[in-house]
Amino acid sequence: MTALRMEHITKVYPNGVVANRDIVFDVAVGEIHALSGENGAGKTTLMKILFGEETATEGKIFIHGEEQYIHTSQDALKLGIGMVHQHFMLVPSLTVTENIILGIEMRKGLSIDYTQSKKLVQEYGEKYHMYLDPDAKVKDLSVGQKQKLEILKVLIRGAKILILDEPTAVLTPQETAELFTELKHLRNEGFTIIFISHKLSEVRELCDHITIIRKGESKGVYALADITDEEISQKMVGRDVELTIARSEGKRGKTLLKVENLSVLEEGGKPRVDNVSFNLHEGEILGIAGVEGNGQSELVDVITGLGNFQHGSVLFQNKPIKYNHVKEIREAGIGHIPEDRMSIGIASNLSITENLLADKTRWKEFFGKNGLLIKQKIRSFSAKMVEDYAILCRDPEVPISSLSGGNIQKVVLARELSSKPQLIVANQPTRGVDVGATEFIRKQLLSMRDAGGAVLLVSSDLRELFGLSDRLLVMYEGKFAACITDLTSIDEQGLGRYMLGLDTQDTEMVMRNAQ
Amino acid sequence: MTVLSTIFSFQFVDMWLRVATPLIFTSMGAVVCERSGVVNLGLEGIMLSAALMGVLGSAFSGSLFIGLLSGLAMGLFLSAVFAYFHLVLKANEVLCGTAINTFAGGFTVFMLEIVTGEKGTSASIKSMAFPTVDIPIIQHIPVLGQLLSGHNLLTYFAFIMVGVLWYLLYKTPIGLRIRAVGENEHAIHSVGISVTKVRFLAIMICGVMASLGGMYLSMGYLNMFVRDMVAGRGFISLAANAMGHATPVGTMLSALVFAFFDGLSNILQALKIPSEFVQMLPYAATIVGLVLYSIQRINAVKRHKAKSFA
Ligand SMILES: Nc1ncnc2c1ncn2[C@@H]1O[C@H](COP(=O)(O)OP(=O)(O)OP(=O)(O)O)[C@@H](O)[C@H]1O
Ligand SMILES: [Mg+2]
């Protein structure tokens, strides 16, 4: 029995972008159905049409066999369709309960009936194994808890068809595992789930069928049992994708970055980074593994000059790195691919070209002697970048915010690498990025290493860490729990134990290997 | 020490509350607007227009109630115009607010002249005024009676409205929606509620409050309309809202602080201090208040950062 059928959907945005072209999308009751495709393929657009946030230019929607006209999300909710968006739609200063009841408030006289509401939140939490403190403020929740809250919100509104748009992009592996157990529970209770993800392993673990779209067109529906990962990525990207990247032995050169006894304390004096030391050499990719929030972000902030530190020293080519001296740090040759690309990676209202030039405002070749823009040179530079990095856009002058996530990340990468850094600090470089672009970004990092540069790679994707790192440090509660020099000596399980603090290596040995 | 003895007199308390009343009304409107994510710079103009229409309505009908309705109607009309341009036509809110203020400045003088033939005041027509209220029993208690009793009806109403708006914002569904839409409008939109409707309602509530603030000036504080009589009170209300973190009680306290300096400047004028200096005091207090507020907010952000690391 089909839960929903979208027939011949075409969507043209007002700016002329054709996001969906004649797509047919069919989902059976009680299945988890994957929707996959490159960044910008039109997945979110298709789901927004189903949820009534966008209207299709052409096409029909059938819910449980009956044709329906969905104009607003209210219509969709009435039909039992709920959506958890790619970005959280929560109000941080309100409580869990308040966020959930927003729009469906139960009343007692004129007031909201909070007692009744909290009870409802607790009931649903227990029923679907998603327990949350009803009185907790949303801003105090972890990312995983926020995700649960979003799902609860949808369930309480009576949705039977759940759309989850890249729910795992921001989750740690542990949180993802937990989410999957919950989703399987829901499926067993008869819910229909549409699951969007760029990670094929996740799709394979969770889903029954996959619909693949490329450049707004459907490339077919497959049972996951009948299709290999290679075939899926081939259909998504339109060419063969290397899922595991061939890499040569690195040639380790002289020390580039020297971190000694570094501590970062929070205001109360509690250490976020706790007396760590390590060296990073030319021609080396040093991976940093760890469950998010164990000091990785603070470490990255110190090295890129964005965060302060209280003890120890950081030397880059024997010169100390100082807090807030970002300009000097960049000029010395450190590039940064930040974790949060939307807020600190780019200026979203500016064009691709302007974003590419953001770190090059002192380059004589673009700004001449009298400080005026040399348009011609700039134009040819950005045209070359767009071509070299295969940035999908109409032209380089469009605002960067109109690009899809993966293409925005490519712009950041192009900007950072074109400044020819000797060290690049890459924090979650392929999060939310499609397989094709992921392959591309990883290759770029590797070729930078092969050319004698250094990479500090922070990632929550264990496969990425295994695939790229020459050495791997595992952070747990601000310290290094392990330093792995031979990556073939350990598997994901073993690494997971260090990440959770269940195992730790001998401190002496970590110190020695980290040098 | 005449200043101190004047400050600690009942007359001063009386004046303090008189000056505070319009600020409390209007700043409560600013609170509701701000919570919904709209900065309404047009408060000044709404106050001024309502002040005039209240006077004209009551003078021509001979009924205070009709006067009240005319003032409210004027305020709601201007608020609706603001809302239409800002919410529907997506015009910049600062521009919309400024346009309302500029319009009101001209419109009130124009209307005044058409109706009374004068450009300065409405002294030639007889406006109704909101009465003062003597509270039974309490008025006879020494000290307390002098402090609490005998104020203008609207003064009591202003304080009541602080409680009403607190209840509205924190206890009712519509308040929850207003607070949510101001912080993350996508959150509201994604659960199927119209962002525009919620904001429109907030702007209209704000319009009612600012109209009451304006009418108090011309039908309570004075008993006539005077050209440009609002004199920056709309902006001071916005400042009070900012300093009070857009919470009803905090904003009321801030409004009382500003009113205190305003009252003080009235007293000091009697002394040999240059009057220009004295008149500057309430505004200087506003600036100092805003600076203090910003410092406090920066510290709060730091604290929050430290906490979110934990
Ligand atoms: N509001 C909009 N106005 C104009 N164009 C848009 C809008 N939203 C998306 N697009 C364009 O439509 C296309 C499809 O975007 P969509 O967000 O559906 O992609 P996606 O498959 O969800 O990608 P990702 O994996 O990066 O989330 C892209 O080219 C994008 O630039
Ligand atoms: Mg998307």
> Fold match between A2-237 and A253-333+424-429+454-515?
yes
**Candidate from A11-25, A65-79, B256-270 with smallest mean pLDDT:** B256-270
- The mean pLDDT value for A131-135 works out to 92
Say which residues have a Cβ less than 8 Å from residue B152's Cβ, sequence separation at least 6: B18, B21, B130, B131, B132, B133, B216, B220, B221
Instruction: Name the residue ranges covered by the structural domains of chain A.
Output: 2-237, 253-333+424-429+454-515
Instruction: Say yes or no to pLDDT of A443 above 80.
Output: yes
Q: Which residue has the tokens 């304006």?
A: B214
Q: Which atom of ligand 1 lies at the shortest distance from residue A406's CA? A: 26
Instruction: Say yes or no to pLDDT of B215 above 90.
Output: yes
Q: Assess contact for A102 and A180: CB atoms under 8 A.
A: no
Beta strand A284-289 pairing with A471-476:
parallel
Instruction: Say yes or no to pLDDT of A85 above 60.
Output: yes
Angle at A197 between CA A195 and CA A202, to 5 degrees: 90
The per-residue pLDDT for A129 is 84
- The mean pLDDT value for B151-174 works out to 96
* Amino acid identity at B229: M
In order of their start, the domains of chain B are 2-309 (1.10.3470)
Angle at B255 between CA B250 and CA B260, to 5 degrees: 125
Superfamily for A2-237? P-loop containing nucleotide triphosphate hydrolases (3.40.50.300)
Among candidates A283, A284, A408, which has minimal Cα distance to A341?
A408
Q: How far is the CA of A43 from the centre of ligand 1 (A)?
A: 8
The per-residue pLDDT for A343 is 77
Half-sphere exposure of A432 (CA within 13 A, CB side): 23
Confidence of residue B209 (pLDDT cuts 50, 70, 90): very high
Confidence of residue A401 (pLDDT cuts 50, 70, 90): confident
Yes or no, beta carbons of A93 and B173 under 8 Å apart: no
Q: Which residue has the tokens 């403020």?
A: A137
The per-residue pLDDT for B65 is 96
Angle at B29 between CA B26 and CA B34, to 5 degrees: 125
* Tokens standing for residue A13: 């945005």
In chain B, pLDDT over 90 holds for what percent of residues? Answer: 65
- The mean pLDDT value for A394-408 works out to 86
Beta strand A107-108 pairing with A111-112:
antiparallel
CA-nearest residue to A292 within chain B is B309
Which segments of chain B are extended strands (E)? 132-133, 151-152
Mean pLDDT taken over chain B: 90
In angstroms, the separation between the Cα of residue A250 and the nearest Cα of chain B is: 36
Instruction: Say yes or no to pLDDT of B301 above 70.
Output: no
Distance CA A408, CA A342 (A): 9
| Count of pairs with CB atoms under 8 A, one residue in A, one in B | 80
Facing B176 at nearest CB: one of A112, A267, A298: A112
Which of A245-282 are b and which e, b meaning 16 or more Cβ less than 10 Å from the residue's Cβ? eebeebeeeebbbbbeebbbbbeeeebbbbebbbbbbb
Q: Which atom of ligand 1 lies at the shortest distance from residue A404's CA? A: 26
Yes or no, beta carbons of A112 and B193 under 8 Å apart: no
Q: Which residues of A touch B170 (CB under 8 A)?
A: none
In chain A, pLDDT over 90 holds for what percent of residues? Answer: 55
pLDDT tens for A256-280 read 999 999 999 987 778 899 999 999 9
Q: What pTM did the predictor assign?
A: 0.81
Residue of A11, A12, A13, A46 to mutate, ligand 1, most atoms within 8 A of C-beta:
A13
CATH class label, A253-333+424-429+454-515: alpha beta
In chain A, pLDDT over 70 holds for what percent of residues? Answer: 100
Confidence of residue A170 (pLDDT cuts 50, 70, 90): confident
Q: How many CB atoms lie within 10 A of CB B215?
A: 33
**Candidate from A128-137, A430-439, B75-84 with smallest mean pLDDT:** A430-439
Distance CA A318, CA A279 (A): 12
Secondary structure of residue A338 in the 3-state scheme: coil
**Candidate from A219-228, A471-480, A486-495 with smallest mean pLDDT:** A486-495
* Tokens standing for residue B285: 């207090």
**Candidate from A219-228, A360-369, B46-55, B223-232 with smallest mean pLDDT:** A360-369
**Candidate from A129-133, A417-421, B102-106, B138-142 with smallest mean pLDDT:** B138-142
pLDDT tens for B277-291 read 877 877 787 788 778
**Candidate from A145-154, A412-421, A489-498 with smallest mean pLDDT:** A489-498
Q: Assess contact for A405 and A433: CB atoms under 8 A.
A: yes
Q: How many CB atoms lie within 10 A of CB B303?
A: 11
Angle at B46 between CA B43 and CA B49, to 5 degrees: 150
Yes or no, beta carbons of A73 and B186 under 8 Å apart: no
The per-residue pLDDT for B310 is 39
Mean pLDDT taken over chain A: 90
Handedness of CA B215, B221, B222, B225 (dihedral sign): negative
